Amino acid sequence: MTSQLKPKPTRALITGGAGFIGSHLAGHLLSLGQRVQIIDDLSTGAMANIEHLKDRPAFKYCIADVRDEPLLAELVDNAEVVYHLAAAVGVRLIVESPVKTIETNVGCTEVVLKLANKKRKKVIIASTSEVYGKNELVPFAEDHDLVLGPTVKARWAYACSKAIDEFLALAYHRARKLPVVVVRLFNTVGPGQTGRYGMVLPTFVRQALSGEPITVFGDGNQSRCFSEVGEVVTALAALAAAPAAEGQVVNVGSRQEISIKELAKLVKKLAGSRSPIKLVPYEQAYAEGFEDMPRRVPDVSKLQSLVGFTPQMGIAEIVQSVIRHYRES
């Protein structure tokens, strides 16, 4: 498709820019010489994440809801590309706040796409590997079926809300020729991530460093592939600058798989911790009838072919950097 955009955008708007991934993306784009505006309502983001950026002349922040349309319209107007990262995140938050999850995830994306379309701006939509659901056909390729559980189980609302976001973005691309890229983020970790919303690595690191039991949910044989946030945001910026990525859904993640039990052992070892590793039944950790995914591994060949690299940092190095950051903060 044709696009009015320059291949290397220099003015970026990041929704959810005070969140874990958004703030790392802001730092990365600034390091590339871009001007960065963020918008965040601080529902799960934090000023602490952007404290080190606030004095940079090329950085601006705005604390507001993305659904404030007049405000967002102005911000979109001033940007060349919009990275839409604002969303309800974290399995715990999603199970505990189901209405907010659906309203935020669907409502914010509707507004972002509507305004980006009006102003003809490129949009990078952050989706999630959750959309693959219970599919056991690993590695997950972008054209695989989505296998979701029943609507009575709250967890699947997250995947469904993100799938709607994807459908809407792709519809804008198909019907209105809006340049969009949908990125499915796999488990992304690194310095600055909070465990408050249930994410496993920051939780394990906090537990290991404070001598509390390391809580492995279920039998711990479920596995994930963890990628480092610095590598993930590099991929996002590269996808935004790749015309061939427009209209595509792209997995962004690492191929290195580790079981949660092994992750707990690794954190314990690298932290030099004496914390016991404790198995916690899912019903106790989340809610009755909670369903987890046994494996989640991305096929990253599309990412590789579009931008020439995939996240490579090994899990031990990632865990070490998270431990170091936690000790220093």
Give long-range contacts, CB 8 A cutoff, 24+ apart: 58-64.
58/30, 58/33, 58/34, 59/26, 59/30, 59/35, 60/35, 60/36, 61/17, 61/18, 61/37, 62/37, 62/38, 63/18, 63/39, 64/39
Question: Beta-carbon neighbour count of residue 287 at 10 Å?
Answer: 13
- Given candidates 23, 203, 248, 251, which one binds ligand UDP under the rule CB under 6 A? 203
Q: And the tokens for 205?
A: 């690191």
Question: Beta-carbon neighbour count of residue 317 at 10 Å?
Answer: 12
Q: Does 216 bind ligand UDP (CB under 6 A)?
A: yes
Helices (H), the chain: 20-31, 47-50, 69-78, 91-96, 98-119, 155-176, 200-210, 229-240, 260-271, 282-285, 301-307, 315-328
If the CB atoms of residues 72 and 319 are measured against ligand UDP, the closer one turns out to be 319
Helix (H) or strand (E) holding 127: strand 122-128
Q: Binding pattern to ligand UDP, positions 246-265, x when CB under 6 A?
A: --------------x-----
> Using CB under 6 A, which of the segments 79-87, 135-143, 214-222, 314-322 binds ligand UDP?
214-222
Given 83, 132, 158, 197, the catalytic residue: 158
The number of C-alpha atoms within 13 Å of 127 and in the hemisphere containing its C-beta is: 28
If the CB atoms of residues 10 and 215 are measured against ligand UDP, the closer one turns out to be 215
Interface positions, 81-100, toward ligand UDP (CB under 6 A): 91
Please state the φ and ψ torsions of residue 59, each to the nearest 5 degrees. Answer: -115, 135
Q: Which of 254, 235, 239 is closest to 298 using CA atoms?
A: 254
158 classed as catalytic: yes
Interface positions, 138-197, toward ligand UDP (CB under 6 A): 187
Q: Does 45 bind ligand UDP (CB under 6 A)?
A: no
- Given candidates 200, 229, 235, 297, which one binds ligand UDP under the rule CB under 6 A? 200
How many residues at the interface with ligand UDP, by CB under 6 A? 13
Q: Does 208 bind ligand UDP (CB under 6 A)?
A: no
* Cα 69 from Cα 39, distance rounded (Å): 12
Q: Does 292 bind ligand UDP (CB under 6 A)?
A: yes
- Given candidates 28, 121, 224, 268, which one binds ligand UDP under the rule CB under 6 A? 224
- Given candidates 222, 256, 259, 321, which one binds ligand UDP under the rule CB under 6 A? 222
Please state the φ and ψ torsions of residue 74, each to the nearest 5 degrees. Answer: -65, -40
> Using CB under 6 A, which of the segments 3-11, 212-220, 240-248, 318-326 binds ligand UDP?
212-220
> Using CB under 6 A, which of the segments 116-124, 217-225, 302-310, 317-325 binds ligand UDP?
217-225
Q: Does 199 bind ligand UDP (CB under 6 A)?
A: yes
Which are the catalytic amino acids?
Answer: 158
Q: Which residues bind ligand UDP (CB under 6 A)?
A: 91, 187, 198-200, 203, 215-217, 222, 224, 260, 292
